[in-house]
Amino acid sequence: MRSKSLCVSFPDAARITLVGAFSLLALALACGQSAAQTYPAKPIRLVVGYSPGGGTDLTARTVAPKLSERLGQPVIVENRPGANATIGVGYVAKADPDGYTLLVGTSAEMVYALGLYERLPYDTTKDFVPVMHMTTNPLIFAVHPSLPVTSIKELIELARAKPGKLFFASGAAHFQATGELFKQQAGVNIVNVSYKGAAPAVTAAVAGEVPLVVSSFSILPQLRAGKLRALAVTLSKRYALLPDIPTMAEAGVPGVEVAPWTGLFAPSGTPRAIIDKLNSELIAIYKLDDVKARFAAQGAIGEPLPLAEFSALLKTDLAKWPSLLRELNISAK
């Protein structure tokens, strides 16, 4: 008598495999929903790759107490500075994907760093998922008052009259890259002078050592004090805190739209339900008048883009900036 075969036909095997796959998917979704329902059950850490007091740290400390109130758990800002913030980013990349260790990161370490370093302790695309676009951080072209220009047009005319004899200060790779983009689009030869940080670059410009500086909104005090004169911003629209200053496109130099950002990220594998919960809570926080006032006081643009838009922005920036920095031969300072 022939024994009954223990094998199954191909259609049966495929059916079993398909049922198993759907079962695993259903289980994963159920676990994610369950995690979100009980989340958070303990304190949440917002890791910042910079020292206390900087723009990224202030962004984290603006939202942390509000998020704590809404979630009913402590939200702690944890500073892990070093290696241009890549140490803190690498730490979060290896954290459990449970929503309790999050990164407040910027385009500097999440995008630009990929074009500045040969090796990094993380991969932005593989190790992280975006949670929330937090701020846009305008870049400003400003000159020392002694430079006889009051507009980008006059700056270009001066640069063309003195090729290679006009200098601009930059204190970060993306500031330098923005200056280089301006040179390409305007067709001028202005020489970069790199400094180890934005503060010494601005100090040099205020002292008149370098007549032009490309920097962030951190130069607002110097602009208000008349120590520097703003010529243009690199946003797609005018900056509310400098409403009389044109965008670079309005000033006649398109193609120099640069808008660095700060965002909240979670380790890859974090349940989508937790990400959605954090996103919705943060969007509500950004509508609060005192939160808007704090961001305005800092100079940052509090701008909670929809998650899909932030994901698209991240993808666009990753496709553009690392290769551009390598093309311009700009390295980490």
What share of the chain in percent tops pLDDT 90? 80
DSSP 142: E
- pLDDT tens profile 140-161: 999 999 999 999 999 999 999 9
pLDDT at 30 over 70: no
pLDDT on residue 5: 45
pLDDT at 18 over 80: no
Residue 134: closest CA among 65, 62, 78, 66: 62
Query: Computed from CA positions of residues 140, 197, 226, 180, in that sequence, does the dihedral angle turn out positive or negative?
Result: negative
Average pLDDT over every residue of 218-238: 97
The type of residue at 138 is: P
In this structure, CATH architecture of domain 139-233: 3-Layer(aba) Sandwich (3.40)
pLDDT on residue 129: 98
More confidently predicted of 82 and 9: 82
- pLDDT tens profile 274-322: 999 999 999 999 999 999 999 999 999 998 889 999 999 999 999 999 9
pLDDT on residue 7: 44
- pLDDT tens profile 46-58: 999 999 988 899 9
Peptide bond into 130 cis (omega under 30): no
pLDDT at 35 over 70: no
pLDDT on residue 24: 55
pLDDT on residue 122: 98
Taking the C-alpha atoms of residue 94 and residue 326, their distance in angstroms, rounded to an integer, is 27
pTM of the entire structure?
0.84
Q: At what angle do helices 272-286 and 289-298 cross, to 10 degrees?
A: 80
In this structure, CATH architecture of domain 40-137+260-327: 3-Layer(aba) Sandwich (3.40)
> Which residues partner with 265 through β-bridges?
103, 130
The type of residue at 251 is: A
Say whether 284 sits in a helix, a strand or coil.
helix
Q: Which residue is it, tokens 């601009």? A: 168
- pLDDT tens profile 174-219: 999 999 999 999 999 999 999 988 899 999 999 999 999 999 999 9
When pLDDT is cut at 50, 70 and 90, the band that residue 10 belongs to is very low
pLDDT on residue 28: 53
Same fold, 40-137+260-327 and 139-233: yes
Contact 159, 188 (CB under 8 A): yes
Domain assignments of the chain as residue spans, ordered by start:
40-137+260-327, 139-233
pLDDT averaged over every residue in the chain: 91
Cβ count near 245 (within 10 Å): 20
